[in-house]
Amino acid sequence: MTRDDFRRQADLVREIPLEVVLTSWGAARDPRDTSRWRTERGPLSVNGTKFFSWQARHGGGGAIDLVMHLGGWDARRAIRWLGRQLGGHLAVANPPADNQSDADPASNSRSTSSPTLHPNSHHFTRSSQGRYTMANEAQRQQMSRLLEHAVQILDIPDALYEEAVAKHEEVGNWLEDHDVLQGRRPPEIYPQGSFRLGTVIRPLTDKDEYDIDLVYLRDIKKGSTNQERLKQEAGDHLKAYVAHTEKANGDAPKLEEGRRCWTLTFNGRFHMDVLPAIPDAEGLPGSILITDCDLREWQHSNPIGYAEWFKLRMRTILLEKRAALAASLRASQEDVPDWKVKTPLQRAVQLLKRHRDLHFQNDHDDRPVSIIITILAAKAYNNQADLYDAVIALVRDMAKYIEYREGVPWVPNPVNPKENFADKWQKHPQREKKCREWLTKVEHDLIGAMSVTGIPKVVEALGRSMGKNTMTKAAELFGRELQLQRVSGGLTIAVGSGMLLAGGNIKVKDHTFFGNVEDA
């Protein structure tokens, strides 16, 4: 390698973000202070391209300095390690003849040759800064595409969604008819929670069921009923509904009473929580009062207000996406309902919930509940258009939105700040700690998936955190999409690199893969 090559290599790797280097080194981000990292050489603070080691009382700037510090190496070795380890970020590759590896920071093996510039990286010329962003941008986009397919797998299947909507209407009509028959004013029945927000995910195993939450809002005043009566009247209607369906077709749901609601279980596919409620005349629009067996006071809630708040947090991107969808369908924007559009925030929440389900599989009690994840994510969301960018930004910032009120951890209900969704954290402080650690783990897993090369390795890495089957199916969907894209003439490769999906300009002509070694 000539001196010029070496300098060019150094300029390239210097730009690698310090967070990427630290993650790749195996350092852990401090869950309480995201600018601090724990390394084997003591704690380290990162601020943009600068770092400072508290133990060594030594600081520096750029990825090369950082690796020199972490490994106690000279510049040449640091540059070589960066090229090898994080070459993918820069489209930097190793010379094929050299099989020795510095990949393991602990290894002291000395290799004689250094990485060279990727022969194809000339496609990413301009400035060393631009080179990093361009190579990385394409990788992030592809990663987002894979993750979007994963969300498609995690989402409730269309058939089940339609069945759930049909059951919702059936139960809703039953309740309404029977209220009216008894001379009561017609109630309102509407979905709440993840169904309303568009963040439902597939349960971890086929044995588990989807959750659907319905509000059964009676049009009566607080003074003219009490909690027991309201709950009992709902129960009577639902018991009659179960008896009726049993007689009609035999496929009757099971009914159970919960603390606040009645639960209908439909044949092991999903269960529907029916929450009896009355309007809260003193609250904000959408406020309701709900019953609770364990508490004498009416409980406050506002599922519509909460869903509106959630929608507001992604308004910019929602409008953009809706306009784009309307244009592609040649429909007017008003004709495209919100639920047809999925934003990166909704998808990110779905990915986070799945990661949580797997991460806390054997620690169910201490897992962060969905409403806390959703609120923190919505607060941290900044209308990122790209899914990977969105998830990374969320997990870095979500913990910042955990408040403390007189030392008590507080995740306020956005439409009722006095209500604390993290009220259990005071009694179980380990839950807050585990939530913060989990957020760091998500970031670590996603950056880790980005620092390996080759689709099989990427899918394997994501599979460990999102589920192996989910990611395998997602990769398959990705492959099928590519195939469709080529057949329709929309697949291009880049001049120089021969890279697909990188905004290239040579159209891939349609053709037919042929032959098989088995025939030989």
Partner 1 sequence: MWKTHKTLNLAVQAAHLGKRFPDAHVDIKRSQLTWRGRVTPSPLSDTYLVRVTYKIGRRPDVKVLEPALESRDGEKPPHLFPGERLCLCLPGEWDGGMVMADTTIPWIAEWLLHYEIWLATGEWCGGGVHPSITPGRKAHNDSAAELKRRRRSRPWDAQHRPR
Tokens of 162: 């339609």
Q: Does 487 bind partner 1 (CB under 8 A)?
A: yes
Q: How far apart are CA 132 and CA 222, in angstroms?
A: 62
Q: Does 483 bind partner 1 (CB under 8 A)?
A: yes
Least spacing, CB of residue 95 vs partner 1, in Å: 10
Least spacing, CB of residue 505 vs partner 1, in Å: 10
* Per-residue interface string for the shown chain with partner 1, residues 454-473, x marking contact by CB under 8 A: xxx-xxx-----------xx
* Beta pairing class for 50-53 and 58-61: antiparallel
Q: Give the residue with the Cβ less far from partner 1, 171 or 449.
A: 449
Q: How far apart are CA 164 and CA 337, in angstroms?
A: 18
Q: Does 506 bind partner 1 (CB under 8 A)?
A: yes
Q: Give the residue with the Cβ less far from partner 1, 387 or 415.
A: 387
In 3-state terms, what secondary structure has residue 406? coil
* Per-residue interface string for the shown chain with partner 1, residues 395-434, x marking contact by CB under 8 A: ----------------------------------------
Query: Are the C-beta atoms of 157 and 200 separated by less than 8 Å?
Result: no
Q: Does 143 bind partner 1 (CB under 8 A)?
A: yes
Q: How far apart are CA 197 and CA 353, in angstroms?
A: 13
Strand partners, 52: 45, 59
Q: Does 517 bind partner 1 (CB under 8 A)?
A: yes
* The one segment of 102-110, 138-146, 189-197, 325-333 that binds partner 1 by CB under 8 A: 138-146
Neighbours of 126 (CB within 10 A): 9
Kindly state the helix (H) or strand (E) to which residue 14 belongs, with its residue range: helix 3-14
Least spacing, CB of residue 122 vs partner 1, in Å: 6
Q: Total binding residues for partner 1 by CB under 8 A?
A: 58
Least spacing, CB of residue 306 vs partner 1, in Å: 37
Residue 358, phi then psi, degrees to nearest 5: -75, -40
Cα-to-chain-centroid distance, residue 31: 18
Q: How far apart are CA 417 and CA 138, in angstroms?
A: 41
Least spacing, CB of residue 345 vs partner 1, in Å: 24
Q: Give the residue with the Cβ less far from partner 1, 33 or 476.
A: 476
For residue 70, give Cα distances in angstroms to 26, 368, 507, 508. Answer: 11, 34, 45, 45
Sign of CA dihedral 376, 359, 391, 133: positive
* The one segment of 102-110, 125-133, 280-288, 480-488 that binds partner 1 by CB under 8 A: 480-488
Rg of the chain in Å (alpha carbons)? 27
Residues in CB range of 127: below 8 A, 6 or more apart = none
* Per-residue interface string for the shown chain with partner 1, residues 93-132, x marking contact by CB under 8 A: x--x---------------------xxx-x----------
Neighbours of 396 (CB within 10 A): 17
Q: Give the residue with the Cβ less far from partner 1, 326 or 477.
A: 477
The length of the chain is 520
In this chain, which of 106, 181, 248, 520 binds partner 1, going by CB under 8 A? 520
Least spacing, CB of residue 472 vs partner 1, in Å: 5
Least spacing, CB of residue 17 vs partner 1, in Å: 17
In this chain, which of 130, 268, 285, 498 binds partner 1, going by CB under 8 A? 498
Q: Does 372 bind partner 1 (CB under 8 A)?
A: no
Q: Does 139 bind partner 1 (CB under 8 A)?
A: yes
In 3-state terms, what secondary structure has residue 110? coil
Q: Does 326 bind partner 1 (CB under 8 A)?
A: no
Residues in CB range of 480: below 8 A, 6 or more apart = none
Least spacing, CB of residue 457 vs partner 1, in Å: 8
Q: Give the residue with the Cβ less far from partner 1, 372 or 449.
A: 449
Q: How far apart are CA 45 and CA 22, in angstroms?
A: 11
Query: Are the C-beta atoms of 227 and 291 separated by less than 8 Å?
Result: yes
Which residues are near partner 1 by CB under 8 A?
88, 91, 93, 96, 118-120, 122, 135, 138-139, 141-143, 146, 450, 453-456, 458-460, 472-473, 475-476, 478-480, 482-483, 486-487, 491, 493, 495-502, 506-509, 511-520
